[in-house]
Every structure is written in C-alpha cells, then in structure tokens.
C-alpha cells in the first residue's frame, strides 16, 4: 500500500516540498545577516532594518499560514474524492487489501508528509525570527513587526502550524469522502478552514488557558485614547495580547463612558485633558490579557486541540470509507 500511495502522491509532494525548500533557502541566506545586525545594533535594531526584512517577516507569516491550507486543499480533498470521482476506488478496493488498510496507509503517509513539510517551514521561520522576537521582548518599538502573540502572527509560529496542517489534511479527506467530487471538496475544505481559523483565534484561543486580569485607575498619564469606541489604557505589560477590556466605576461595576468624556473626545480634545473627568470619578480600567509568557502554553494547548480534532476526523474517515457504497 505504501508504494501505491507514494506513486500517486509524489508529484503533489514535490510541489509543496519544493516550495518549502525555496523559502527555507531564502531564510537561510538572510537569517545570519539579521542575527548579526541584532548583535551589533543594540537599541537601533528596528531602525536599521531595511524594509525587505519587514516584507520577509510578513511573507513568512503568510506562507506558514498558507501551507496547511494548501495541504488541505491539494493533498487532503482529492485523496479519496478523486478515486470516487474517477471510479478507481472500485479497482483498488477489489485488491486483497481492506478499505481500512488502504485509507490508513494513505492517511498515514500523506499525513506524515503534511506534518513534516509544515514542521520544516515553521522551524525555519521561527529560527529566522528569533532576533526580532528578542528585540520585541526587550521592549523595542517595532512598527511593522506584529508581536508573535498577536492574531496575525500566532498561527505562523512555533508548533501550531503542524496542528493546523494535520487538521487541514484530515478535514480535506473527510470533505472529499462526503462530497465525492474533487473540486467542490477543495472549495469546501478551504471555506471550512477559514471558518475554523476564525473560530479558533477569536473564540477558542483566548480561553485555552486562563488569561490574566489587571485593573488600573485611569489617570491622565495612562489614558491612550479611544479604540473602537472603548477606552484604551496603558496597563504597563509589554507585548501582551489583550483579549477584553472594560471600564469600571468607583464601585467596581462596568459602566459606559460618561457623555462629558465622549463629547470632549469627539470635539477633538486631548485624551489627557478629557481623561481628567474619568480620574475624578474614580473610574478604573479592567484588562483581560495573555502576557508574553503565555506564548508557549497557548501554542501547546492549541496544537494539542488541533491534533485531537485531526485524529477524530481521521477515525471518522476510516469509518465512512468502510461504509461507503460503491
């Protein structure tokens, strides 16, 4: 079974691994220069970085996020759907190998390749980004380099991409078994992944481990202004991921912002001046956030959840394929 799986898969494998190798080569060529600059530039690091490093940083983030989707769409969805569509399942299911073993071999080999390709890519990207992460962690002001805890970057770092690759691949296979057509299965897989990623980053990830909470009195100094109609207050935690914020009155109850303040801000007032009103009322700002130290615990928790989901879907695939009418 391994031979047949490999024979059917090798061309698709070459494309993805080729792409990963090319990008890894670009990172390998530019990484040492980045590390050198970090050693010598000190506080001037981000000022001295040319914009091509910023482009590479964002491109890398995009690629690491895209590869699991590509794997789900181009490796996962056609894996069984193409056989069902072209009728070759009736050839291969009538050899002396059970459907369960047939699919298990496919899931095993291609799944392993999916994890390996994404693992290599995230390893290379994370290595390349080490100087930038260190500079951000030491308080550097880094315009154009979003923090690794941010929604934009989190899924492109550490071990999480491997979890996404496993989920995307098995999801693609499952959708292919259900829809029995390659192209609709590819589209549905992509849509499903977009939804899954949204649900994960907005609803699930903030709660994967208990976030921290701080309440600080609002003062003229820490008030930064309005963000999306709510107050933004500096609570003195560097590169934290803010999950929720609310304003409390002197009694500790959540309150809307007083009109005196919003009017003052809307008429173009300085936050520091307008904010004096809030300080006098004894208002405080409660912020729920994940500190920088939660990066790895969140990474492992999300990866574990994704891998568990992938295993569950793989088990469903095996079950469905056993019952699949020809």
Partner 1 sequence: MTAVLRAQGLGKRYKQRWALADCRLEIPAGRVVGLVGPNGAGKSTLLNLAAGMLTPTTGTIEVCGGRPGDGAAQLAKVGFVAQDTPTYAGLSIEDHFRLGARLNPGWDDRLARDRIRRLGLDPAQRAGSLSGGQRAQLALTLGVAKCPELLLLDEPVAALDPLARSRFLDDLTEAAAELELSVVLSSHLVADLERACDHLVVLVGSRVRMAGDIDELLTAGQQLTGRRPTLEDLVLTALEETR
Query: Using CB under 8 A as the criterion, which residues of the chain lie in contact with partner 1 when the complex forms?
Result: 1, 3-4, 7-8, 86-98, 101, 323, 325-326
Identify which of residues 21 and 91 has a Cβ nearer to partner 1 in the complex. 91
Identify which of residues 93 and 127 has a Cβ nearer to partner 1 in the complex. 93
Identify which of residues 1 and 41 has a Cβ nearer to partner 1 in the complex. 1
For residue 115, the minimal CB distance to partner 1 (Å) is 25
- Assess contact for 81 and 180: CB atoms under 8 A: yes
For residue 174, the minimal CB distance to partner 1 (Å) is 21
Task: State the Cα–Cα distance between residues 326 and 319, nearest whole angstrom.
Answer: 15
For residue 9, the minimal CB distance to partner 1 (Å) is 11
Identify which of residues 101 and 238 has a Cβ nearer to partner 1 in the complex. 101
For residue 103, the minimal CB distance to partner 1 (Å) is 14
The closest alpha carbon to 218, from 274, 282, 273, 262, belongs to 282
Strand, coil or helix: 326: coil
If phi over 0 gives left and psi between -120 and 50 gives alpha, with beta otherwise, what is residue 257? beta
**277-308 CB burial, b ≥16 within 10 A, e <16:** ebbeeebbbbbbbbebebbeebbbbbbebbbe
Strand partners, 231: 226
The tokens describing 33, both together, are 């220069």
Identify which of residues 4 and 281 has a Cβ nearer to partner 1 in the complex. 4
Identify which of residues 5 and 247 has a Cβ nearer to partner 1 in the complex. 5
For residue 101, the minimal CB distance to partner 1 (Å) is 8
Task: State the Cα–Cα distance between residues 261 and 45, nearest whole angstrom.
Answer: 39
For residue 100, the minimal CB distance to partner 1 (Å) is 10
For residue 98, the minimal CB distance to partner 1 (Å) is 6
**233-252 CB burial, b ≥16 within 10 A, e <16:** bebeeebbbbbebebbeeee
- Assess contact for 110 and 169: CB atoms under 8 A: yes
Contacts for 141 with CB less than 8 Å, ≥ 6 apart: 46
For residue 5, the minimal CB distance to partner 1 (Å) is 11
Identify which of residues 88 and 266 has a Cβ nearer to partner 1 in the complex. 88
């Amino acid at each position: 079974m391994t031979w047949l799986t490999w024979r059917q898969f090798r061309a698709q494998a070459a494309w993805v691994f080729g792409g990963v190798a090319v990008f890894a080569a670009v990172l390998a060529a530019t990484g040492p220069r980045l590390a050198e600059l970090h050693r010598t530039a000190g506080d001037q690091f981000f000022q001295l970085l040319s914009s091509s490093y910023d482009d590479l940083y964002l491109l890398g983030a995009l690629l690491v996020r895209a590869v699991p989707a590509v794997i789900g769409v181009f490796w996962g969805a056609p894996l069984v759907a193409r056989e069902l569509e072209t009728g070759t399942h009736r050839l291969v299911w009538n050899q002396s190998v059970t459907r369960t073993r047939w699919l298990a071999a496919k899931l095993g080999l291609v799944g392993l390749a999916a994890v390996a390709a994404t693992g290599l890519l995230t390893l290379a990207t994370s290595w390349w980004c080490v100087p930038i992460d260190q500079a951000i962690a030491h308080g550097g002001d880094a315009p154009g380099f979003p923090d690794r805890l941010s929604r934009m970057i989190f899924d492109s770092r550490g071990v999480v991409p491997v979890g996404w690759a496993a989920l995307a691949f098995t999801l693609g296979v499952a959708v292919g078994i259900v829809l029995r057509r390659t192209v609709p299965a590819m589209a549905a897989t992509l849509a499903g992944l977009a939804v899954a990623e949204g649900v994960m980053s907005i609803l699930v990830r903030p709660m994967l481990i208990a976030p921290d909470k701080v309440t600080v009195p609002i003062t003229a100094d820490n008030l930064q202004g309005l963000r999306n109609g709510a107050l933004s207050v500096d609570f003195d935690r560097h590169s934290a991921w803010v999950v929720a914020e609310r304003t409390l009155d002197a009694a500790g109850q959540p309150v809307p912002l007083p009109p005196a303040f919003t009017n003052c801000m809307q008429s173009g007032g300085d936050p520091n001046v307008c904010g004096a009103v809030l300080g006098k009322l004894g208002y405080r700002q409660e912020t729920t956030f994940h500190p920088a130290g939660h990066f790895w615990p969140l990474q492992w928790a999300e990866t574990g959840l994704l891998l568990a989901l992938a295993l569950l879907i793989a088990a469903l695939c095996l079950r469905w394929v056993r019952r699949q009418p020809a």
